[in-house]
Amino acid sequence: MLDDLKLIHERDAQDALGVVEKQWQQLGHDFGVDVSKFSGVRNIVLAGMGGSAWPAVYLNTWAEPSVPFEIVRDYKLPAYVGKDTLFISSSYSGNTEETLSALDEAEARGAQIAVISAGGKLAERAKAKPHTLYTIPGGIQPRMSSFFFLVALVQLLEPLGLVPKGKLTELQAAGDWLKGQITEWGPTIPTEKNAAKQLALELIGKSIVVYSGPKMFPAANKFKICLNENAKNVAWVNQYPEFNHNEFIGWSSHPVDKPYAVVEIRSNLEHERVQKRFVVSERLLSGKRPAPQVIEPKGESHLQQLLWTSNFCDFVSVYVALLNGINPTPVDLVEKLKVMLDQ
């Protein structure tokens, strides 16, 4: 089925596969925003939900900011937020109620504010105040615009000395490298030669559990997001070594035949003890859970492996959607939820 291009075009009416294939281009985007108004930043807080918060997880893991960086997925801010805080309000739609509520609080406390959005109420407020605004190009789903958000964060933080110099250059170079990697996963590549299609076929019809180590967790988390939103397929995520301290035991009981698929992202860049935990855990859980589908990220650097894994898993999630007979792009239930919350 995944080699039937006519059927793919019918089910993928809004060309999610085309968007996924072009994500590398986002890494070269120049927002051209002046950040000279910010000074004396002692901590960073980003408020965002879903795909608008994920890039902060990515940046925190890879770029290692020089001051504390907290991600808030809530209506309220930590008590320490004040004039020394760089508050980043992140929402693709610009209408995310939790993020707008957090912005109210940040303004009231006198925080230094930057906004990342494609429009909506958030962009309107940023222009009216004015707050520093990074305008994300519109027309695609938030989860498919994550690299735009990542670039915006680096273009904001690197000039302020809050992430190491050279991170933006590294990001752009890695984008060019990624362009050459994705050619193996597109819809015209037959299943027998296409690892993304092969993994999708292993996952179909099951609830999916994704595991990684700390270095690859941003990619694992993104995979969970896209399986849920693209494929409309329930998925969860966790990471080693935390997995071994609780969830590990959960696999040891009945039923033996569990209706799950397990995906493990095993990077050679993880701590050596984390790498060993994957191997030992698989041995101890043999016969007690499904054998894991293992993804081994390609790339020499941490960033390359993160980008490779994220883009590969995006292809997989879209192929799972097509196997489910689902259009990958719309998230109608989310829109209904928003309407009902406002009633």
Residues identified as active-site: 229, 245, 338
Q: How many residues does the chain have?
A: 343
Rounded to whole angstroms, the Cα distance separating 51 from 304 reads 20
Rounded to whole angstroms, the Cα distance separating 326 from 335 reads 17
Say how many C-beta atoms besides its own lie within 10 A of residue 203's C-beta: 23
Q: Is 35 helix (H, G, I), strand (E, B) or coil?
A: coil
Q: Locate tokens 């990619």: which residue?
A: 219
CA contacts within 13 A on the Cβ side of 249? 3
Pinpoint the alpha helices (H) of the chain.
Answer: 5-11, 16-21, 54-62, 97-108, 120-128, 146-157, 167-181, 195-203, 217-229, 247-250, 272-284, 302-323, 332-341
Tell me how far CA of residue 128 lies from CA of 83, 152, 173, 251, 280, in angstroms: 20, 20, 36, 53, 56
- Cβ pair 219, 270 in contact under 8 A: no
- Cβ pair 44, 64 in contact under 8 A: no
- Cβ pair 209, 260 in contact under 8 A: yes
